[in-house]
Amino acid sequence: MTELLEYREFPVQKAAAIACFGPAFAFLTLVIVRLTRGELFRDVSAGDHLLLLGLGAAAASLGIIVLGLVLPRVRNLYMVMVLSAIGTPALSLVLSFVEVPPDYVWTAHVAYVGFCFVFLTLTLGSMSILLNEIVVIRYRARIVMIAMLVMLLLSFVYVLLGTMSIDVMSTESPIAQTVAIVGVLLATVVRPWRWERHPLTVSEDV
């Protein structure tokens, strides 16, 4: 028998939980923007930044192929979303406080950028599958728009702080990393791992 997912009202709790991932997307967007501008790493030239961007895009492309086969079979997709969304900002915090030996600096940069793109792919892939299984189609776009609005607002704030000479990703003020991690952790307040998933047909009809 086909499982049906029916809603009469907008799923506020689910929308709020997904919106809490907006700060993580804002952080990942900031990383990519700084890569394209050659500003992510102080000891790396603009040309090498573009090389890192290409390597990250390649990692994401391979990740899409692999994750497309694996993610639909994962039971707890929400925890995958949480771990992947927290992964990059947490790694950024660690690297900002840990001194990497000179011989391994480039390797650390490549690994960081690779993880960034793979985690972004993993988060977006998990979110897409999860939304298809927990929310009827009429509400999915609205929920995604709310999350993107949070991302855009935070991105604007980060740009504004940058004009005030405040580096939101620096060791002294890791604002972007902290907000991203806190946002994802706040999403767990509504216990999203208990949401009932309907992996088959999703309908609005009663």
128: domain CATH number? 1.20.1250
154 inside domain: yes
Res. 110 pLDDT band, cuts 50 70 90: very high
Tell me: the pLDDT tens digits for 111-163? 999 999 999 999 999 888 888 888 888 888 899 999 999 999 999 999 999 89
Give pLDDT, residue 20: 94
Higher pLDDT among residues 139 and 196, named by residue: 139
Q: Give the total residue count for the chain.
A: 206
Two tokens, residue 173: 């003020």
Number of folded domains in the chain?
1
90 inside domain: yes
Residue 84 has pLDDT above 70, yes or no: yes
Tell me: the pLDDT tens digits for 182-191? 999 998 887 8
Residue range 58-63: average pLDDT? 89
59 inside domain: yes
Residue range 55-62: average pLDDT? 91
The pTM assigned to this predicted structure is 0.86
Instruction: In whole angstroms, give the CA distance from residue 21 to residue 26.
Output: 9
98 inside domain: yes
2 inside domain: no
Range of the domain at 169: 12-38+46-191
Q: What is the CA radius of gyration of the chain?
A: 18
Instruction: In whole angstroms, give the CA distance from residue 49 to residue 31.
Output: 11
Place of tokens 């990383």: 31
200 inside domain: no
197 inside domain: no
63 inside domain: yes
